[in-house]
């Protein structure tokens, strides 16, 4: 059974994950109308992934005897000065999500809810990957600079981007 504090904190994280999905969706729309089909496809996939993260939390709350809430969401930014600015905002958002997950882990330990602590470890690992991916993309964008040919190749290649992190590596 979830404590009221844990239930509220998990419901807050459900909103964060839902807003993350909306942010990626807004970025996908912006990229698509700018002709960046690869970036748009990447963002659509990320939006779906964030929604899956939200649903995983919803099911966990309900399975543990709580009541998951669907709440109002803050409207995401829908325009960007450049695709570089868009990815900078994305990185900042992923850092904020990591901080939110870390706070949730802290609360779970304070409440001695080891089941929730264990459940949240997947999110901790996931955020390491999300931040690494955003950082890798920003590094690539900085290498491209103002090169239109580089942007074309980046747009084409981003859908195949995978980032291996220490947290996801298997030592086999």
Q: Is 46 annotated as a binding residue?
A: no
- Residue pair 108/100 in contact (Cβ under 8 Å)? The answer is no
Kindly state the tokens that stand for 21: 């999905």
Q: What is the number of residues in the chain?
A: 172
Q: Is 69 annotated as a binding residue?
A: no
Q: Is 159 annotated as a binding residue?
A: no
- Residue pair 7/61 in contact (Cβ under 8 Å)? The answer is yes
Residue carrying structure tokens 């220490």? 166
- Count of alpha carbons within 13 Å of 21, Cβ hemisphere only? 14
CA distance 76 to 58: 22
Annotated binding-site positions: 17, 50, 53, 94, 127
Annotated binding-site positions for Fe cation: 17, 50, 53, 94, 127
């Amino acid at each position: 059974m979830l404590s009221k504090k844990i239930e509220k904190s998990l419901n807050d994280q459900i909103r964060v994950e839902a807003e993350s999905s909306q942010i990626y969706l807004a970025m996908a729309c912006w990229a698509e109308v700018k002709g960046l089909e690869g970036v748009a496809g990447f963002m659509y996939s990320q939006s779906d992934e964030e929604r899956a993260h939200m649903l995983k939390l919803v099911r966990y709350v309900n399975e543990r005897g709580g009541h998951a809430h669907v709440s109002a969401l803050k409207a995401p930014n829908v325009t960007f000065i450049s695709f570089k600015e868009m990815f900078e905002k994305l990185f900042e958002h992923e850092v904020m999500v990591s901080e939110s997950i870390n706070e949730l882990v802290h609360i779970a330990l304070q409440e001695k809810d080891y089941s929730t602590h264990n459940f949240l470890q997947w999110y901790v690992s996931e955020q390491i990957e999300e931040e690494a991916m955003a950082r890798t993309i920003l590094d690539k964008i900085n290498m491209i600079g103002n090169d239109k040919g580089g942007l074309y190749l980046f747009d084409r290649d981003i859908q195949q981007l995978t980032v291996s992190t220490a947290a996801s590596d298997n030592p086999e």
